[in-house]
Amino acid sequence: MEIILAKSAGFCFGVKRAVDKAYEKAKNGNVYTFGPLIHNKVVTSELERLGVKCVEDYDVPKGSEVIIRSHGVPPKVYNEFEKRGVSLTDCTCPFVKKIHNIVHGEKEKGRNIIIIGSKEHPEVIGINGWCENTAVIIGSPEEARQAELKKGVPYSLVVQTTFRLKIFNEILGIIREKTDEPQVFNTICSATTDRQKEATQIAQTVDMMIVIGDEKSSNTRKLYEISTKYCENVQLCESIFNLNLQNVKKYDKIGITAGASTPPAIIKEAVSVMSDIDNKTFEEMIDDSMVSLHSGDVVKGKVISVNDNGEVTVDLGYKSDGIITRDNFSNDPGCNPADEVKPGDEIDVYVVRVNDTDGNVTLSKKRAEADKNYVVIEEAFNNGTTVRGKVSEVVKGGLIAYVNDARVFIPSSQISNRYVEDLTAFVGNEYDFEVLEYDRSKRRIVVGRKALAQKEIDEKKAEVFAKLHVGDKVKGTVSRIVEFGAFVDLGGVDGLIHISEMSWGRVRKVVDVLSVGDEVEVTVLDLNPEKGKISLSLKDPEKNPWNDAEEKYAVGTTVTGKVVRMVPFGAFVELEEGIDGLVHISQIAYKHVEKPEDELSIGQEITAKVTELDLTNKKVSLSIKDTLERPADEEDPDEVAAEETAEETEEA
């Protein structure tokens, strides 16, 4: 058997640079990548084990470090992380960065941008961001024919670095027919072109072609497509252990190539295994193929041992044993694997990596449990039913909870039906949630209880309104203070005490009377089930100062009080809490008074006589001058006015 390995197989410069930087940064802790660093589950799983987490949004703690992957990102990503105080390590491939600069520069010149590439590819999404997402994106000759391009419009054209040169030239020809000559920047990476040319050459000369890489990788898929054009027997596999080995030995010449996201170790491993196969019998190859494992599989295994570090060794019926590290055993940091499993126990495990540096299989028990529970969550999402979870921590923008051991995110706007300033009150509590967003491939689950909370409140309101009546005295707890009053929780439903109903006396500020958390007894003033409103009063009707006002403030009674307010027509005097009397400006003194402030001041104690009592409208009229002796030389302004009126009448 002859094995031909492509010289250009494996990591390109940009990918290698990003991966090396990620392993280096992993030592520092608190490191994230914005999106998967590369399209290779082996590498991303290993980085995750080392603590480098992948995020798809901006939800990382302040002070963290985020690695920008080689595909590059739009400008808004840099800006958003900078605003959040997050440090960035930019590992954008230099070839991709060059495209960003071209697109940005051409856009500033007033030219329209065309990107040839896949709309869904992260590299293309990133490039489009550098021209404010205005580019025309074309991924195939058919899309080029349908594109709305115009003559007389200045176009500048770039291309995805991993795009096939042949298809690029075909698309370019169609674009040139539909437009004036565009400014063309052929930005296909030379490494990509070399790799595809070499795959073409090797595929034409071998009996079997093996393409190693993740099927989600764009350049890996293109290598596979190219190989199938020139070779009848082509297999695409993530690693050599995913390969169907049963028919390998009948091929005399085998070619091996790999995508730009495939680590050198996996390629080396493939060549080694293929070389070993050449020395084995057909029966031995069949035996080796009996048990196959793939990253991402959930399989059953038997516990062999649990060591002092909490590592669990598992027999998988494979040529190598599986290892579950303590971190991969449970989401509970206090869990001790030795208390949970013992030798001989059969457990479900998730295959993280088929072959680590020591030849073992890396496993995860918590991922296996989460995968099973994802089914339950997916059913809830599809059927519109609820799931129950426990809130574990507060993060940027919301909360993290675990639903059947699956990690879910709760946006702060979805934890309650009202704004919540302090989210820590929810940590440690269990709630029912609706599944708002579910993407199993990205392991992204968003849940919320806003609608459920509103439903609970509506039910409680109906219950409370059914048993409450106007005039009832009820107890509650002050839940919220506002400028115009205080809301009181009556058992899941809030009623409002308006500031005017807090005391028989004058209340300037709500906080002078009540604080959040105070327990109060209130009287129900009004119920409005349609609007869900309850009006309450803190005033005790039995202590209403107007109850005996007829006796205390009978006309002719002399009273004392304090000036509390001035108006142009007189002064208001507080006789007691809840009862003010008005001294009209004409009743302040026997002499003519221009302004009440000329004779009186706020806070001044005065003596006055009650001249009128209106119990219906709760009004008391007072006179200070009636308590004074009229000066001999002072005319009563009221009497003077009356005499003048009489004289005018006689003359008329």
Backbone phi, psi, residue 88, to 5°: -115, 140
pLDDT band at 30 (very low <50, low <70, confident <90, very high): confident
pLDDT of 168 strictly over 90: yes
Placement of tokens 């993060």 in the chain: 395
pLDDT of 649: 33
pLDDT of 342: 92
CA distances from residue 334 to 30, 50, 174, 488 in whole angstroms, order as listed: 20, 19, 63, 40
Quote the distance between the C-alpha of residue 192 and its chain's center.
37
Distance, CA of 618 to CA of 259 (rounded, Å): 89
Distance, CA of 181 to CA of 178 (rounded, Å): 9
Query: Do 510 and 564 belong together in one domain?
Result: no
Residues of the domain holding 584: 549-640
Residue type at position 231 = C
pLDDT of 276: 62
Q: What is the pLDDT of residues 414-450, one digit of tens each?
A: 888 877 888 898 999 999 999 998 887 677 889 998 8
Query: Do 559 and 634 belong together in one domain?
Result: yes
Q: What is the pLDDT of residues 506-519, one digit of tens each?
A: 788 999 889 999 99
* Position 604 in a domain: yes
| Helix (H), strand (E) at residue 79 | helix 75-83
pLDDT of 283 strictly over 50: no
pLDDT of 570 strictly over 80: yes
Query: Do 557 and 621 belong together in one domain?
Result: yes
Query: Do 554 and 622 belong together in one domain?
Result: yes
3-class SS at 475?
strand
| CA pseudo-torsion sign 340, 345, 346, 351 | positive
Burial 500-516 (b: 16+ CB within 10 A, else e): ebbbbeebeebeebbee
* Position 572 in a domain: yes
* Position 460 in a domain: no
* Position 347 in a domain: yes
Distance, CA of 607 to CA of 561 (rounded, Å): 7
Query: Do 561 and 535 belong together in one domain?
Result: no
Helical axes 94-108 vs 122-129, angle rounded to 10° = 30
* Position 416 in a domain: yes
Distance, CA of 120 to CA of 111 (rounded, Å): 24
Beta bridge mates, 4: 255
* Position 415 in a domain: yes
Query: Do 353 and 422 belong together in one domain?
Result: no
Distance, CA of 522 to CA of 534 (rounded, Å): 11
pLDDT of 489 strictly over 60: yes
Q: Evaluate whether 9 touches 256 at the Cβ level (below 8 Å).
A: yes
Tokens standing for 32? 């994230």
Q: Evaluate whether 267 touches 258 at the Cβ level (below 8 Å).
A: yes
pLDDT band at 535 (very low <50, low <70, confident <90, very high): very high
Q: Residue 434: which residues within 8 A CB-CB, separation 6 or more?
A: 384, 386, 447, 448, 449, 451, 452
* Position 595 in a domain: yes
Mean confidence (pLDDT) of the chain: 85
pLDDT of 641 strictly over 70: no
pLDDT of 346 strictly over 80: yes
The residue among 165 and 650 whose pLDDT is bigger is: 165
Backbone phi, psi, residue 478, to 5°: -65, 120
Read off the pLDDT of each residue in 6-11 and give the average, rounded to a whole number: 81
* E strand intervals along 11-55: 31-34, 52-55
| Residue that is last in its domain, among 543, 565, 595 | 543
CA distances from residue 476 to 78, 94, 223 in whole angstroms, order as listed: 49, 65, 71
pLDDT of 113: 96
Question: For the chain, what percent of residues have pLDDT higher than 90?
Answer: 40
Query: Do 479 and 532 belong together in one domain?
Result: yes
Read off the pLDDT of each residue in 244-265 and give the average, rounded to a whole number: 76
Query: Do 553 and 527 belong together in one domain?
Result: no
Number of domains forming the structure of the chain? 4
Distance, CA of 230 to CA of 208 (rounded, Å): 10
pLDDT of 303: 92
Lowest mean pLDDT among 157-166, 451-460, 561-570: 451-460
Q: Residue 628: which residues within 8 A CB-CB, separation 6 or more?
A: 589, 590
Quote the distance between the C-alpha of residue 218 and its chain's center.
29
CATH number at residue 520: 2.40.50.140
Q: Evaluate whether 235 touches 224 at the Cβ level (below 8 Å).
A: no
Lowest mean pLDDT among 45-49, 54-58, 77-81, 561-565: 45-49
Read off the pLDDT of each residue in 159-168 and give the average, rounded to a whole number: 90
Q: What is the pTM of this model?
A: 0.41
pLDDT of 610 strictly over 90: yes
Query: Do 408 and 422 belong together in one domain?
Result: yes
Quick one: which of 264, 369, 276, 311 has its CA closest to 40?
Answer: 264
| Residue that is last in its domain, among 311, 327, 361 | 361
Q: What angle do CA 582, 586, 587 make, to 5 degrees?
A: 55
Query: Do 553 and 627 belong together in one domain?
Result: yes
Single out the catalytic residue among 48, 106, 123, 501.
123
279 class by beta-carbon count within 10 Å (0-12 exposed, 13-18 middle, 19+ buried): exposed
Q: What is the pLDDT of residues 109-121, one digit of tens each?
A: 999 999 999 999 9
| Half-sphere exposure for 596 (CA within 13 Å, toward CB) | 23
* Position 525 in a domain: yes
| Residue that is last in its domain, among 543, 558, 577 | 543
Give helix then strand counts, H and E, for the chain. Answer: 16, 32
CATH number at residue 340: 2.40.50
Tokens standing for 542? 């039995």
pLDDT band at 241 (very low <50, low <70, confident <90, very high): low
Query: Do 441 and 477 belong together in one domain?
Result: no
Helical axes 41-49 vs 13-25, angle rounded to 10° = 20
Q: Evaluate whether 72 touches 100 at the Cβ level (below 8 Å).
A: yes
Backbone phi, psi, residue 562, to 5°: -120, 130
**Catalytic residue list contains 456:** no
